Structure 1
Amino acid sequence: MKKILVVSAHPEPRSLNAALTGFAVDHLRAAGHEVRVSDLYAMKWKASVDADDFPDDAPDRRLHVMDASERATLAGKLSADVAAEQEKVRWSDAVVLQFPLWWFSAPAILKGWIDRVFTAGFGYGPEVPPPYSEGALAGRRALVSVTAGARESSFSDRGIHGRLADVLHPVQHGLFWFTGMTPLEPFAVYGSNDLPEERFAAAKREYGRRLDGLFTDEPVPFRSLVGGDYDREMRLLPGVEAPGTGGLDLHVRPRG
């Protein structure tokens, strides 16, 4: 049995995203796992970081978010809602993010969950292990489940929207891998604005397969900052990549 946190970000409880969240929770529990859910809209999650997140900070002190968040995190003085979400992440063996792709990113409420929960001293900073490695939150698997209104071909290597791996790089590499979590290849449902029942059934079958492999599927092989591939300025060393590799693929180790 594993412990899994599912974070859902859609305002409509009858939406496809809500249906996928419900499916994931039921599927994982049926497999014997323990599941907790953070439904951000149902929770009325506050998206913006502000001084209220650090209630013990002096009100006349200039707010430097990294410093204030680190002080509050290490002292156990974060606001109650942030502290509760951090406890869920610590408790988990895996984190699943479920969201619609809005303007090539996560909804603001989910970005706000990331901004507020992954504080200095918890997800990054000098008091925790270095980023892009077996870092602060090492040992956890991470899966993005995303819906997109556009067709799959438009998110391909020559698609006008760019590859989905590149669009999701800020979450996959900049959140998960930066904090030490192990990201899996994302699961996506395309053409989500008008999804006939047979395609929804197929999506659930594929999603179920991906959930079954949450702890066994091969992760995205991002390079480690401390593995010898980067110099002291955090730049990839010349010649480490395969010939012809460029862009964000530079930071992924060749498979096989």
Structure 2
Amino acid sequence: MNVLIIYAHPEPKSLNGSLKDFTVRHLERAGHTVQLSDLYAMNWKASLDANDSSERHNGERFFPSLESKHAFENGLQSEDIAREQDKLTWADAVILQFPLWWFSMPAIMKGWVERVYAYGLAYGVGEHSDARWGERYGEGRFAGKRAMLVVTTGGWESHYSARGINGPIDDVLFPIQHGVLYYPGFDVLPPFVVYRASRVDEAKYAELSDALGRRLDALWTTPPIAFRPQNGGAYAIPALTLRDDLAPGRVGFAAHVDDEGVETATEADEATEA
């Protein structure tokens, strides 16, 4: 299989750097083909702006989505964007690896998403009608591909528990897993999360690498998070609100996961250790 790793950490000798190197070695030894986009090493340009196209659609005003659409459809994107899009098209699975900084991905990775996810590639596709509202949330250009987050945090696991001060880790990661990944069609696997990253010693690292190796071995067999598909009947169109009979009384992120198929990050990790 073809695996693309999008990696964001400025220090090669960090825990993230070591886990990234382990992932590449482990996948290649298992016979997979790996491409790595090391964003800091690439000096990736994070800001989406008018320089991302060699020819403006509208010279008077920069409208990001329309400029993105024009550039993507006409082969006018900057070379760095086109290269990353080719990698996405090539990949069977994508791994986003990053430290959790201020409850999200580092800015350089967010910039990768904003620039590479062009209109016509990751969004703005499919019909919009009373029956469908575009190909997204379970459909889209990346349907059939798998994706997983590998995330490190400084906080304790209890800080990200159901009643933890930082909020449940599945809620913290929801905008990335449901928005950045499920929106354009990826099957999103439960994340691999490392807590108290600064406290990882040699013994703990051995445990982590063993657990990560098992998750990588199961990259094509692990059930994805059971997000509800947008066009499958669960949502009223065009309002895109969940039907009243589904998850009654529940609001927020949890309502958009099918209770019958939900698997938390902790449960997935426990399953790999069984």
TM-score category, normalised to shorter length: over 0.9
1:131–1:59 distance in 2 versus 1, CA, 3 Å: closer
Normalized against structure 2, the TM-score is what?
0.90
After superposition, residues 215-254 of structure 1 pair within 5 angstroms as: 215-232=220-237, 233-241=239-247, 245-254=250-259
What is the aligned length? 254
How far apart in 2 are the matches of 1:127 and 1:226? Answer: 11
Aligned to 2:116: 117
How far apart in 2 are the matches of 1:73 and 1:60? Answer: 17
Indicate conservation of the 8 Å contact 1:124/1:131, yes or no: yes
Normalized against structure 1, the TM-score is what?
0.96
How far apart in 1 are the matches of 2:249 and 2:230? Answer: 22
How far apart in 1 are the matches of 2:167 and 2:203? Answer: 27
What's the secondary structure of 1:95's corresponding residue?
Answer: strand
After superposition, residues 113-192 of structure 1 pair within 5 angstroms as: 113-126=112-125, 130-192=135-197
Misfit runs of 4+, over 4 Å: none
Deviation at 1:135, TM superposition (A): 1.3
Structure 2 residues not aligned, in runs of 5+: 128-133, 262-274
Deviation at 1:133, TM superposition (A): 2.0
Indicate conservation of the 8 Å contact 2:58/2:67, yes or no: no
How far apart in 2 are the matches of 1:246 and 1:53? Answer: 38
1:225–1:198 distance in 2 versus 1, CA, 3 Å: same
Structure 1 residues not aligned, in runs of 5+: none
Give the CA RMSD over aligned residues.
1.3
1:21 equivalenced with 2:20 (yes/no): yes
Deviation at 1:4, TM superposition (A): 0.3
Deviation at 1:119, TM superposition (A): 1.0
Deviation at 1:194, TM superposition (A): 2.1
Aligned to 1:94: 93
Q: Structure 1 residues 128-137 or 93-102, which shifts more?
A: 128-137
Deviation at 1:45, TM superposition (A): 0.1
How far apart in 2 are the matches of 1:215 and 1:188? Answer: 19
Indicate conservation of the 8 Å contact 2:138/2:187, yes or no: no
After superposition, residues 43-58 of structure 1 pair within 5 angstroms as: 43-57=42-56
Indicate conservation of the 8 Å contact 1:121/1:127, yes or no: no
